[in-house]
Structure 1
C-alpha cells in the first residue's frame, strides 16, 4: 500500500507576514551596522587582521595586514598559513615555526610571538603576531585560524634605547663604585704618611736632627705630590666625561715644547732613569691642542719614570713629517703582563705587577681620550720585565696648511 502525503497549503495571515518582513529588515540593518562598525574598527586600527579557513583555503585580511607584510592586497589572494615564513627574517623563522606549530597542535592557548619581518627600506621591522584557532572539527582538527599582526618597531627601538640607557647607567654606577673604592684606597697611603710625619715632627721637634726633619718634610711633600696627581687625573677625566675639555689648536715649536716638558718631568722626579731624546723634524712647527698633548706626554713620561729602575734608560723620539707627528716613548722598565694588556686603557685598571706602586689607574685612560680628541691614536707593545713602548700619532697641521708661529 502506497503512503499518501498530504500537503497543507496554509497561507500566513497578513499581519504575521508583515512581522516577518519587519524582522528580516531589522536583521539586515543590524548586519549592515555590524559591517559598518567592523569597517570603522579596521579603518582606525593599526592592526592587520587575518582569518584563514584551513579546510577550504579561503582567506580574509584587511589592508593593514598587507601593508605590514609589505605587499599589495592582490598579492595575498592565495595566501596560506605556511606563507608567513616567506616574510619573516631568516634568523627568526625557526622560533616562529615552533610557536605556530605549538598552537596549531593545541600545545598553547595562543600564538603570541614577536619576530622581525624583511623590510627592503630599513632592513627589517619588528612585528607582534597574536592569533588563535577559533574552530575545530569533531576530531579536534583546526578549521579556522584568525588573529592580528602589529608593527611594534618604534616600541622596540624605544625599549632598546631604554635598555641601552639602563646598561650605561649600570656601567656608570659600577665606575663610580670603583672610583670611590680606588680613590679611598689610594688616598689612605699619602694621608697616613702626612699624618705620621706631622705627628712625629710635632711630638719630637726638639729631639729631631736636621737630617731627620728634612726626611720627614720630604715624605710630606712626596705625599702631597701624590694627592695632587690623583686630583689632577680625576679633574681631567671629569672634563672629558662632561665635554668640558677646552683649548684650541695653535701653532707652536714642538721641539721647544717637548724639551721643556721633559725637563719639567725630570725636575719633579729627581731620582729617575736616564731620558734619551731624539728629534727628527722637517718642520718643527706643529698645530694642535697644547693642553691635551701636555696631558698625554706628562702621563706617559711619568709612567716611564715611575716603572723604570733608575739605572735603566727611557727613550723619547719625535718625528715630524708632512702633516703628521709621531712620538715614541720607550722604557726599559717593568713591562705589562701579556694577558692584562687588553685592559690597560680601562678606567682605574692597574696591572698586577704594579699594585705596590701608587697610582689611580686613570693615566692611560686620559692619554687615550686626549689622543682621540686630537684625531690621533696610540699603539703600544710591552714585554714583562723588559719594557714598554708607546707610539703616538696625530695630525700636525691646522686645516692641512703650512703653519707659522
Structure 2
C-alpha cells in the first residue's frame, strides 16, 4: 500500500540500501550533470537518483517524483543515514567501469601513462662545491598601521551587524571558517578580521597559507624533508613555527589564515591538531607528543592566543565535503554575493557611470537567481562581486571593462556549469552579454 504524505526525511538506511542493490542489478550510469556522488563500497552513484528510487520503493509508487532538490537538501537526508557524499570525480569517457572507483583509478593510471616503473639503482652523484638553495628575495614587511571598525566597514560590502557576528564567533570558538561561492571576498574579510582584533595591520602576527591536494602533515606540522644539501632531516612546518612565535607573546593574538581550506586532505594535514584545535584544549596542559618528534622532545600544544581563520569555496566540484570531526570545531560564517547598494555606491564613487552600474547589478542578480534555482547547481555556484571591485580609473573605459569581464571571466564559468546543456549555457551567455 502506498504511504500517503510520506516525509522524505523519514527514509531509512535499509530503504536506501535496497535502492542501491536495485541500481547495481540494472547497471547504473552517472549523469554528466551530477555535482555530487554517493560513495558506497567502492562505487559511486548520483545521490538524487538514489534518493528518488528509495523514495519510490518506500511509498510503492514507481513514478513518484523525489520532492527535494538536488544538492544540499538531498545530500543531508543521505548523510544523516551515514552515507558518504563526495564531489564528483572525473571518469574515463565511455568506460564500462564507470562508477567503480578502484577500477577507474587503475584504468586512469594506464590511460595517463602513470603505471609503476621499476626503480633504477642510484648513481653516485659528485658533490657540488656550493649547496643548492632557493634564491633570497630582498623585501621587508609593510609597516603596521592602525586599523579600526570604521575603516573595515568602508572596505567590506557587509553590514556592521554581520561583521560583529563574525568577530563574536571568532572570539568564542578561536576557529572560524568563511564559506561561500567564489568571488565573495572570503580571504579579503579573513585578513581584516585579524587586523580588527589586533587593532593594526600587523603582518608579523598574521600568517597566510593555502592548502592544496599536495599539501601534507609534513608541510604543515612536522616531517622529514630535504635541506639545502639534499639530506633529509626533521623539520618543523608552518604551524609549529607559528605557534612557537605566538607562545613568546601570550598577551598578543596571532592569526593563522588558511586559504582554500577544503582543497587539502584535512585529516592528513591536521593530524593530532584535530584535538588541539578546540578552544578548551589550548595550552601546555593539553600538550601532545608529535609522531616524528624524539621521545625526549618537548610536547606540542596550541597557545591560547592563536586563532585560525579558514576560507572554503563551496562551488569547486573537485572538493570533498568537510570532515564532521573538523567541522564541529569551527564556527561558520556564510559569504554571499553582494550586488546591492554598498557595491553600487562603491562603483559610483570610483566614477563608473550609472548605466554601467545598473547593467552590472541587474545582469548578475538575474544570473545568480537562475543559478540558485537550478537543482543541479544551487546557491553555492553563484558569481561573487569580487570580479568587479577594481574598475578602471577612466569612466569612459567602464563599459569595455564590464564587457571584458563578462566575456572572459563570467561566460566561461557558465560553460562549465552547464557542461552537458550547451544550449542553456549559450542562452544564459546571450542574456548576460546583451546590450
Bigger fraction of residues in helix:
1
TM-score interval, smaller chain: under 0.3
TM-score by length of 1: 0.25
| Greater share of strand | 1
